[in-house]
Amino acid sequence: TMEFSDRIQRVEPSATLAISSLASQLEAEGEDVIDLSVGEPDFPTPGNIVEAGEQAMEDGHTGYPPSKGVPELREAIAEKLQADGLAYEADNVIVTPGAKQALYETVQTLVDDGDEVVLLDPAWVSYEAMVKLAGGDLTRVDLAPHDFQLEPALADLGEAVSDATELLIVNSPSNPTGAVYSDAALEGVRDLAVEHDVTVISDEIYEQITYGVELTSLATLDDMYERTVTINGFSKAYSMTGWRLGYLAAPEELVSQAAKLHSHSVSSATNFVQRAGVEALRDTETEVGEMVEAFHERRDRLVALLKQHDVDVRTPDGAFYLMLPVADDDQQWCEDALEQSHVATVPGSAFGAPGYARISYAADLGRIEEAVERLVDAELL
Ligand code: PLP
């Protein structure tokens, strides 16, 4: 028999698996399932990006690219970050197959066995798994009692962060809550990071998807450039989830360490995909604007419908998720919603927020309206 590593056995399979297999089973039985569980935009990749990818293949960009990324893309990413007020140069960037790989490499580069990592709950599911795979210990700060906002939770964060803390992971706009953290909250993070010499991962993958609020990039704050790893990617902003393209940007000392893991594992992101990424950064303002506008309209409609049914929700300021307060047993609620209403959502406990279900409104407006109607009919709302 095979003997599996302690490392891999520390990690649980995804808690959302049960729901998604039940959803596919219902669909296979011919049921009309409204899927509000997915973490991806429901739009096609903009045509000019697809064409750039096709052209790159025809032009023969099908061999190994430089490990850290093709120079044109690293340069374009640096220019984008500079336009956001960040001081990164192309040499500060590693292009990865998805932001997920950038996060994985960063955690592996920073976290040793027994190192303490602080997470803000509810948190995206993979942070915990990445930290456990690296051998780190988690300390969790719960934002649920604070309407998922960080600013009112700074005192709690202050108690969680100590000189023993190696790393703090911040994700704004947040998956799963859609919260966008205020400047005061980020300054609070900065003060703690400086005081206790903590490195901070700022996962900004939903950065372009905000609704009338300004988002400050953490590494633009004084004293943060040298202790921040900025993570971003193409999946959400450009509807490119399956292309697998993302990046980390960090001081060169981190880049040169992470580059070792990068080159010994994935080697690089796909060559022609990176060329399409240049086009995404160069010429997609209109398409991105239209997608964000559609998300905005859906958010407004969803929140209005929920309020109409006396559901107490806070309007999320970014991403395309909303945390719906449900029964104490959120796993059961999600199963009921799926079985009785054929509406798929994700239990909040998967993100460290029991008592909630995560709704993704990256779905057609009419389907969102119908989902609420079905849940009301089944007396689940
Ligand atoms: N970070 C967060 C918060 C996410 O929600 C996701 C995707 O769901 C990712 C990172 C990874 O995105 P990708 O690997 O597709 O770039």
CATH number for position 263: 3.40.640.10
**Residues facing residue 318 across a β-bridge:** 210
Residue 110 one-letter amino acid: L
Residues 202, 121 share a domain: yes
Evaluate: CB of 175 within 6 angstroms of ligand 1. yes
Distance CA(333)–CA(345), nearest Å, equals 9
Evaluate: CB of 241 within 6 angstroms of ligand 1. yes
> Has residue 1 been placed in a domain?
no
List C-alpha distances in Å: 311 to 147, 152, 331, 351, 369: 14, 23, 19, 21, 15
What's the chain look like in SS3?
Answer: CCCCCHHHHCCCCCCCHHHHHHHHHHHHCCCCCEECCCCCCCCCCCHHHHHHHHHHHHCCCCCCCCCCCCHHHHHHHHHHHHHCCCCCCHHHEEEECCHHHHHHHHHHHHCCCCCEEEEEECCCHHHHHHHHHHCCEEEEEECHHHCCCCHHHHHHHHHHCCCCEEEEEEECCCCCCCCCCCHHHHHHHHHHHHHHCCEEEEECCCCCCECCCCCCCHHHCCCCHHHEEEEEECCCCCCCHHHCCEEEECCHHHHHHHHHHHHHCCCCCCHHHHHHHHHHHHCCHHHHHHHHHHHHHHHHHHHHHHHHCCCCCCCCCECCEEEEECCCCHHHHHHHHHHHHCEECEEHHHHCCCCEEEEECCCCHHHHHHHHHHHHHCCCC
Residues 249, 139 share a domain: yes
Structure tokens at 304: 């209005």
Residues 241, 131 share a domain: yes
Distance CA(327)–CA(311), nearest Å, equals 12
Residue 99 one-letter amino acid: A
| Strand order, beta sheet including 228-233 | 93-96, 246-249, 228-233, 199-203, 165-171, 116-121, 137-142
Atom number in ligand 1 closest to CA 233: 16
Distance CA(58)–CA(234), nearest Å, equals 22
Q: Are 110 and 166 in contact (CB under 8 A)?
A: yes
Length of the chain: 381
> Has residue 311 been placed in a domain?
yes
Mean pLDDT, rounded, for 154-172 = 98
pLDDT greater than 90 at residue 97: yes
Distance CA(79)–CA(353), nearest Å, equals 37
Q: What is the ipTM of this complex?
A: 0.99
Q: Which residue owns the Cα nearest ligand 1 atom 5?
A: 175
Evaluate: CB of 106 within 6 angstroms of ligand 1. no
Q: Is the pTM of this model over 0.90?
A: yes
Structure tokens at 117: 């990592």
Which one of 264, 282, 300 terminates a domain? 282
In this prediction, residue 327 has a pLDDT band, given cuts at 50, 70 and 90, of confident
Best of 177, 206, 236, 266 for a ligand 1 pocket test (most atoms within 8 Å of beta carbon): 236
Q: Note the pLDDT of residue 15.
A: 67
> Has residue 52 been placed in a domain?
no
In this prediction, residue 21 has a pLDDT band, given cuts at 50, 70 and 90, of confident
Q: What is the distance in A from the centroid of ligand 1 to the CA of 173?
A: 12
Q: Which residue owns the Cα nearest ligand 1 atom 3?
A: 175
Residues 233, 100 share a domain: yes
Structure tokens at 50: 């697809």
Evaluate: CB of 99 within 6 angstroms of ligand 1. yes
Atom number in ligand 1 closest to CA 97: 14
Q: Note the pLDDT of residue 38.
A: 86
Angle between helices 99-110 and 125-134 (to 10 degrees): 40
Q: What is the distance in A from the centroid of ligand 1 to the CA of 326?
A: 25
> Has residue 49 been placed in a domain?
no
Residues 124, 28 share a domain: no
Which one of 251, 282, 313 terminates a domain? 282
- What CATH number is attached to the domain comprising 10? 3.90.1150.10
Residues 222, 200 share a domain: yes
Alpha-carbon dihedral sign for residues 201, 202, 206, 211: positive
Best of 124, 232, 358 for a ligand 1 pocket test (most atoms within 8 Å of beta carbon): 124
> Has residue 215 been placed in a domain?
yes
Unique residue bearing structure tokens 């395309």: 320
Which one of 267, 282, 297 terminates a domain? 282
Residues 33, 78 share a domain: no
Evaluate: CB of 98 within 6 angstroms of ligand 1. yes
Residues 332, 301 share a domain: yes
> Has residue 53 been placed in a domain?
no
For 37, the domain range is 6-44+286-377
Q: Are 352 and 122 in contact (CB under 8 A)?
A: yes
Residues 13, 155 share a domain: no
Q: What is the distance in A from the centroid of ligand 1 to the CA of 25?
A: 26
Distance CA(177)–CA(148), nearest Å, equals 7
> Has residue 55 been placed in a domain?
no
Distance CA(330)–CA(82), nearest Å, equals 42
Residues 184, 250 share a domain: yes
Domain count, the chain: 2
Residues 211, 332 share a domain: no
What confidence tens digit (pLDDT) does each residue in 191-245 have? 999 999 999 999 999 999 999 999 999 999 999 999 999 999 999 999 999 999 9
Q: What is the distance in A from the centroid of ligand 1 to the CA of 62?
A: 25
Residues 277, 296 share a domain: no
Evaluate: CB of 203 within 6 angstroms of ligand 1. yes
Average pLDDT for the chain: 96
In this prediction, residue 50 has a pLDDT band, given cuts at 50, 70 and 90, of very high
Q: Note the pLDDT of residue 187.
A: 98
Classify residue 126 by burial, with Cβ atoms within 10 Å: 0-12, 13-18, 19+: middle
Evaluate: CB of 233 within 6 angstroms of ligand 1. yes
Evaluate: CB of 149 within 6 angstroms of ligand 1. no
Q: What is the distance in A from the centroid of ligand 1 to the CA of 271?
A: 20
Evaluate: CB of 202 within 6 angstroms of ligand 1. no
> Has residue 57 been placed in a domain?
no
Distance CA(9)–CA(165), nearest Å, equals 24
Atom number in ligand 1 closest to CA 100: 14
Evaluate: CB of 346 within 6 angstroms of ligand 1. no
Best of 235, 238, 320 for a ligand 1 pocket test (most atoms within 8 Å of beta carbon): 235
Mean pLDDT, rounded, for 178-202 = 98
Q: What is the distance in A from the centroid of ligand 1 to the CA of 268?
A: 18
pLDDT greater than 90 at residue 167: yes
Comparison of pLDDT for 60 and 19, the residue scoring more: 60
Distance CA(248)–CA(245), nearest Å, equals 11
